[in-house]
C-alpha cells in the first residue's frame, strides 16, 4: 500500500466524512470547493490507503435500550498466551462489550460495556467469569457522558 501525504483537501474530506459519511459526492465536492470527479477519486484513494476503514451508522444507545455505560477494570494473575486467547474470545463473543483495551498501570484490561441496567451488566459479568478466570474485577457506572465523538483529530497527519 502506497504511503500518501494528506493535503488540505484530503483533510477536509476526512473531517466532513467523520461528521456524516452519508454525504453525497456532489455536496462534499461543493463544500471542499472541488469538482465531483476529483473529490470521488480522493475519497477512493483515502479508502484504499486505509485512512477510511469503513462507513457506519452511529445509533442512539438509549433508543436501542443500552443507555447505561459501565467501565470495567480487569486484573489477571495469568499473563500467558492461552489465557489471553480465552479472554479475547470471551469478550469478542459478548456484544455488550463494545471496547477492550490492554492497559499499563494498575489494571490489565479496560472494557467499555453498554447495557440497559444493572441486571444487564450482571448478566454480562456472569458470562465473562464463566468463560475465563479473573483475578479482580472493578466496575464503574457512568453517571453522565460529557463528551462522545468518533471523530479523530487530524492535526498530526
Render pLDDT for 138-154 as a digit per residue (tens, 0 to 9): 999 999 999 999 999 99
Looking at residue 117, what is its pLDDT? 98
In angstroms, rounded to a whole number, what is the distance separating the alpha carbons of residues 71 and 66?
14
DSSP 8-state code for residue 80: S
* Apex 67 CA angle, 61 and 69, nearest 5: 110
Identify the band that residue 2 occupies on the pLDDT scale cut at 50, 70 and 90: low
Cα-atom radius of gyration of the chain, to the nearest Å?
20
- Domains of the chain, earliest start first: 8-48 (1.10.10.10), 68-141 (3.30.70.920)
Burial of 155 (0-12, 13-18, 19+ CB in 10 A): exposed
pLDDT over 90, % of the chain: 97
Tell me the CA distances in angstroms from 8 to 13, 18, 28, 42, one per residue in order.
9, 15, 14, 12
Identify the band that residue 15 occupies on the pLDDT scale cut at 50, 70 and 90: very high
Amino acid at each position: 500500500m502506497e504511503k500518501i501525504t494528506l493535503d488540505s483537501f484530503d483533510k477536509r474530506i476526512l473531517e466532513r466524512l467523520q461528521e456524516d459519511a452519508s454525504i453525497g459526492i456532489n455536496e462534499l465536492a461543493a463544500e471542499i470547493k472541488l469538482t465531483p470527479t476529483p473529490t470521488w477519486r480522493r475519497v477512493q484513494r483515502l479508502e484504499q490507503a486505509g485512512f477510511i476503514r469503513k462507513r457506519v451508522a452511529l445509533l442512539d444507545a438509549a433508543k436501542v435500550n443500552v443507555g447505561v455505560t459501565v467501565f470495567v477494570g480487569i486484573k489477571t494473575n495469568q499473563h500467558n498466551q492461552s489465557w489471553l486467547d480465552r479472554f479475547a474470545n470471551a469478550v469478542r463473543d459478548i456484544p455488550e462489550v463494545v471496547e477492550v483495551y490492554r492497559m499499563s498501570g494498575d489494571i490489565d484490561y479496560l472494557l467499555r460495556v453498554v447495557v440497559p441496567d444493572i441486571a444487564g451488566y450482571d448478566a454480562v459479568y456472569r458470562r465473562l467469569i464463566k468463560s475465563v478466570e479473573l483475578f479482580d474485577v472493578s466496575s464503574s457506572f457512568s453517571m453522565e457522558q460529557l463528551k462522545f465523538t468518533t471523530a479523530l483529530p487530524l492535526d498530526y497527519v
